[in-house]
Amino acid sequence: MTVVEDRLGELERRVARIEDEAAIRRLQMAYGYYIDYNRPEEVAGLFAEDGAVVFLSGEYRGHEGVMRLYGTWFQNLFTGGRRGPVEGLLLDHFQLQDVITVSEDRKTAKGRFRGVLAGGWHDSVLDRKPDEVPQQFWEAGIYENDYVREDGVWKIRRLNYMMQWQADYETGWAHTIAHLQPAVQTYPENPIGPDVILPEEEWRQTWPHRQEVAMSFAHPVLGATFVKEHFTKMQKEWP
């Protein structure tokens, strides 16, 4: 191959990777919009055949599990089984701060996002509000997701959402304990429960507890091999 052909091939690979990242970002952003309006069928359509969601220390598996979480649980909890938007209900999920890593063979990818949720009910519809949910609340969490390309289309293989905090709007995070707690019972004993409870070492306590969420991406400057000891060595070498 000539130098020009080599450079052209490298440019094609770079463009393909950029296109993959854009498609995955679009996929995740679409997920945020669909759950805003309680549209579980569209949400389920974003997942691979073997897709799964990890939420509140439980894993919901396959399209049936995804529909149980976003349809049976979320839709019934927030909208009484109706598709949104619903008058007087705020449930906006912002998908932010993405770092996407596509594998060398471009068949799989990792993605880290930050989610922020503003939710609640207007005074005029308080008769629909579930007792266990505050009228106005904030929530934030981190996604560490796996994606897969199926038949040339990027899909979510494992959406791994780790809630970081919840807060009543009026009192703030300093005075709030999360109103959602980790799963303790699986489906079908719990009709809205996960298929599997995470192992004890992976179990997630909610706010005000805090825990590290391992990062799927390499350090953008120092590379994947970076460890704290390297930084200590660098500090000693600084003038």
CA distance 109 to 168: 35
For the residues 167-195, what does the mean pLDDT come to? 93
Neighbours of 30 (CB within 10 A): 15
Q: What is the pLDDT of residues 217-236, one digit of tens each?
A: 888 887 765 566 666 666 66
Quick one: CA torsion of 34, 30, 42, 155, rounded to 10 degrees?
-140
In this prediction the pTM is 0.90
What is the residue-wise DSSP string for 102-163? E-TTSSEEEEEEEEEEEEEE-GGGGGGS-TTS-SEEEEEEEEEEEEEEETTEEEEEEEEEEE
The owner of tokens 């009543």 is 168
Do residues 110 and 146 lie in contact, with contact meaning Cβ atoms separated by under 8 Å?
yes
List domains and CATH numbers for the chain.
Answer: 3-237 (3.10.450.50)
Q: What is the pLDDT of residues 127-173, one digit of tens each?
A: 988 888 899 999 999 999 999 999 999 999 999 999 999 999 999 99
